[in-house]
Every structure is written in C-alpha cells, then in structure tokens.
Amino acid sequence: MAPAFAQEAQTDQATETAPAAETAAATPAAATQGDLQTLIDDPTQWVIQTGDYANTRFSELDEINKDNVGDLQVAWTFSTGVLRGHEGSPLVIGDMMYLSTPFPNTVYALDLANEGRIAWRYDPQQDPNVIAVMCCDTVNRGVAYANNTIFLHQADTTVVALDAMTGEVKWSVKNGDAANGETNTATVMPVKDMILVGISGGEYGVRGHLTAYDQATGEMRWRAYSTGPDEEMLVDPQATTVLGEPIGENSSIESWEGDQWQIGGGTTWGWYSYDPELDLVYYGTGNPGTWNPSQRPGDNKWSMTIMARDPDDGMARWFYQKTPHDEWDYDGVNENILVDQEIDGEMRKLLVNFDRNGFSYTLDRETGELLIAEKYDPAVNWATEVVMDPASDQYGRPQVVADYSTRQAGEDTNVTGICPAALGSKDQQPAAFSPETGLFYVPTNHVCMDYEPFRVSYTGGQPYVGATLSMYPAPESHGGMGNFIAWDATTGEIKWSLPEQFSVWSGALATAGDIVFYGTLEGYLKAVDAETGDELYRFKTPSGIIGNVMTYEHGGKQYVAVLSGIGGWAGIGLAAGLTNPQEGLGAVGGYASLRDFTALGGQLTVFALPD
C-alpha cells in the first residue's frame, strides 16, 4: 500500500553554476518579446515539447536528410544523474538547452555556446513517499517555456516558475494533493498569458481536471473537471455539443451510479494542443475508476473523452467520448494532432487522435464532427467497428465484442486474448506528422492481455484498481510487441509498417529532410525514409529510449537529440526492480526479456553530421 504523502515539501533550490557574465550570453533569444508563437515558428529552436501547438512534431530543418543521415555521429552527451524512465525531451531557446529528469525532477540549463556547461540547475526537494503513489514509473515529460520563464510540474503536483536565465523561483503553487493519490507526470502548455496544467492519479480514484494558471503570478484562472456537475465541468448544456448535438443538463452525473463521479478518474496526464485561429485548446481524459467495470454502470462521462475548450474561461465547445464505459483501461489522453487536409474533395480543419483503444479518429476540430474511425493495429479485437451512421443510436460508439467484454464476463472471471492490452495500441508516446508526405508516423504497441476484474473499495491515497492483468505479444503475428507505422488519416489506412521486438515507446520526429526518427526500448535511435519506411540509420544509446526525439540548429549546424533511460509502463520492471509478472499492472511479465537488451540509464545523446 502507498504511504501517505507529507503535505509540505522542503525548500527547493536553484544552483547557479556558471558566472553571470557567461550565463548572460546564453539568455534565451527574444525572451523579452513575449511572443511565444514567433519562437515556435523558428525551426532552429525547439521551444515546446510537442514541436508546435498543433502537436505535429515536424521540423523544417533539412541539413540532415535521407541522403546523408547515414553519416550521423554522436556530437556530445550529458548524464542526468537519475536512473529511471526518461520521457519528454529537451527544449532549446537561443543558446540555452533546458531538460528535466524523472523524480526528483531536477532541471538543468545547459549553455550551448559554452560546450554545454551547466549554467544552472534546480533541485526540487520532494517527499520521496510520492514515488509509491505514482503509476507506471516516476517519469516527467519535460519543462515548458514562455516569457523568459521555465515551467516545471513536479511529481508532487507543485507547479514551479523558474527564471530562464538564473533558475531562481518566481512562484510555485500546488495543483493537487498526493495524499489523495494526485500526482503528475506530464508537461504543461503555455497558452496566451496562462499555462495549462493536468493531473495524474486515475488508479487512485482521483477526479480529473485541467487548470489554467497565470504565467506571471501562478494565480488560478479556471479549473475544468472531467466529471460532475455542469458548472464544475465548465460546460453549457445547450452550447457544448457532442457529435453536433447539445450535451444536455447533468450529462456526467446521470452516467454514473450515485456519487461515483467524485472518484471517477478522467485524469489529464497526456498532451495538449492549441489552435490560435479557432482559439480552442484540445486534450483527452483518462480511464474511469475503478478498473472493475461492474462497480460503475453507465457511460462514465466524461472519462475517455476528447475535449475542446476556450482557453480564456475554460468553457467547453465540444466533447467526443471514444470509449464509453471503459472496461480495459484504454485511457483517452493521447495527443491530438491538428492538421488541414482534404477529405472527400473538401479541405477540412482536422484533429487526428491515435487512441489507446486501437482506433484512429479523424474529426473536424471546429465542430467535433466524427469523420473517420479505423483500427491502426490489425490485432485490435475488443470492438468490431465504430458506428459512423449519424442516424443510428450507436453513432460514434464502438461495437464491443462480447467475448472480450470484461463487464459481460463479470467479476473474478479472467477474460483472455483481449487486444490491445491496457497500455493500448499506443500510449502517450507522441506521433509525428509530415506536411510533405501528408502522413502520420506512429509508435505503436502490438500487445494483448488477459484481464480479470475484482471488487475493490475506495480509500483516499490507496490504489483503486480492481483488476489483475497479464500481457504478451499479439498472437499470429510477427512475434514482436511493437510496430512503427505510417498512417493516412484521410482514408484510415496504414501505408507501411515496421515490426519491432518491443513496443515503440518513444516520440517520433519528422523533418523536411524526408526522414523520420524514433527510438526503441532496446535503446536504438533509428532514422527511416518518410516515404518508404526504409531504415537509413541506427545507433545504440546506453539505455532504452522512451524519450521523444527533437532537433535544433546551433552555430549554423543541425543537431538531433534524444533522452535514453529505460522505464515507463513498458519498462517498469527494470526501472523499479520488479520481478512478479503481474506487477506493474501486468507489464513486468510482458516485457521481462527487456533486461536481456538494456539496463538502467539516464543520458542525453546529441547527434550531428561530421564537419
């Protein structure tokens, strides 16, 4: 059982390790302009974890291209000093690189103009008891930047604003309470003069929410819950829509039994997107609690939902629930990629989502209209289809196969052969989009499971799961646990697929050099041809890669960088030293052979072409 978390953390510390005269030269470019969009649009920098507000993870840099990527060499490395799962990526603003670690969430500022010297470091002093409350490893998906400030959301839910030049704390605020199971693994996203902040803890009966804080002061602007009364969810029963129809009054409360919505999950630990033209932010909500579906009859709204909101006041424009009454832990938090593409001869403003449940959804991001819903892993079997007929009372709903329904089987019954496993056909590891090919490049899991739900009672701060899982490679396939695919979201088709021995748990990067980068759990950084998928380059880093590949230019030269450090849900056995096959919510047994290919680590590896 998880120990209670101490409410007050110790004083946090920033250490300046380079003289002021040297750090001054490394001040982020254009930091005083307050124009984050201008910085994001500059391909020489990597200013936001997702590459841009649209979450495309596409770079216009092309010095490294498909003709010369085979010549890549390691330019330099940096050890983070932490041996747990390293998700997220560095940021580069001007001459400075910023990166954070897994717990204890140390932040480093590296001076690229001074051989990567540590300009400053910030060492949060967090109660280590929070580790026991964190699901699926102690990861952190990186810092954010805006207005000469670095924003960190710590594991204990403390949000900290740091001076980008000195590392000094400008303000801090608590976003949740780890004593009740609320923690954090995600980055935050700056929008206008706010930052958007989510919450983790779906396996502890946490009630999910998204919160906007003032960038300058840390004052809360608004908070939108995923479940509960309309006024607390910031929905308008008539103006907020679902598949084009008004959401109606009490839409969430009426989909739960009694007051279960208060411990109903719907956490917001994934990625966030923003369309400045439509002035809408997009994000997803996670699984309902508990994992035993028999204990929570109803659709459990609005867990498992894509939400579109006005960033100024948080009011919801539209919702779409992908997996009503989730029975498999298919959290709906994966990234929403915003692109403009032609469908049926008409240019549309699209939102593309590769959900854990194994379906890829293409929606109109202005209205929430569902345009395409197709399986992006052929192994998916829990549902036959998503109904696309607007006249049907099943419109937009997946059609569940009875043999794989954990609710229909009932408590204490082991349902076997469900595909995908709970970690989904893709977890949070983000896909990339290339406007040059019109294709999405998707790191996927090719994993199935056995799932046995059991009755569980709720106690604040204690696990609220209620299921036992086993995981294994998809049967009657290539024998591996992952694929890296190219996907056409206008037709719902796989263009090419590369089999991998293990799940592909790193974020992809597409570039104007006609190449796509991704990392593997064994530790390889790979580059492939964006059109054909042909492998052009591979390099074995010191540990498994669950970080997201990024690129930047400095001194007129293009670099590619990635964090390695095995962990996350897939690597939790190695990261936490677990050996029971059912530990790690079933992942320890499924990925047991990873220890034959990699070991713990924590390193940034930066690549470049030879001079």
Catalytic residues, which ones?
329
**Predicted local distance difference test score (pLDDT) of residue 63:** 98
Interstrand relation of 383-386 and 398-400 (parallel, antiparallel or unpaired): antiparallel
Give the distance from CA 233 to its chain's centroid: 22
Nearest one of 524, 600, 549 to 82, comparing CA atoms: 600
Upstream peptide bond of 420 is cis (omega within 30 degrees of 0): yes
Asked if 547 and 88 touch (Cβ cutoff 8 Å), the reply is yes
C-alpha distances in angstroms, 138 versus 170, 194, 318?
A: 25, 26, 33
**Predicted local distance difference test score (pLDDT) of residue 471:** 97
Q: Is it the case that residue 3 has pLDDT exceeding 50? A: no
Q: b/e per residue, 101-112, with b = 16+ CB within 10 A?
A: bbbbbbbbbbbb
**Predicted local distance difference test score (pLDDT) of residue 17:** 52
Residue range 553-564, pLDDT digits in tens: 999 999 999 999
Mean pLDDT for the stretch of residues 187-206:
97
What does the DSSP assignment read for 538-607? EEE-SS---SB-EEEEETTEEEEEEEE---TTTTHHHHHT---TTTGGGHHHHTGGGGGT-----EEEEE
**Structure-derived torsion over alpha carbons of residues 461, 205, 227, 360, reported in degrees to the nearest 10:** 130
Domains in the chain, CATH or no CATH each? 13-57+71-372+388-608 (2.140.10.10)
Rounded CA separation 137/154 (Å): 14
Interstrand relation of 447-453 and 415-418 (parallel, antiparallel or unpaired): antiparallel
**Predicted local distance difference test score (pLDDT) of residue 28:** 44
Mean pLDDT for the stretch of residues 156-164:
98
Residue range 373-404, pLDDT digits in tens: 999 999 999 999 999 999 999 999 999 999 99
pTM: 0.95
Q: Is it the case that residue 127 has pLDDT exceeding 80? A: yes
**Predicted local distance difference test score (pLDDT) of residue 590:** 94
Q: Tokens in use for 577?
A: 């030293």
Structure-token match 């946090």, residue found: 12
> What is the rounded average pLDDT for all residues in the chain?
94
Residue range 229-280, pLDDT digits in tens: 999 999 999 999 999 999 999 999 999 999 999 999 999 999 999 999 999 9
Nearest one of 97, 115, 113, 103 to 46, comparing CA atoms: 97
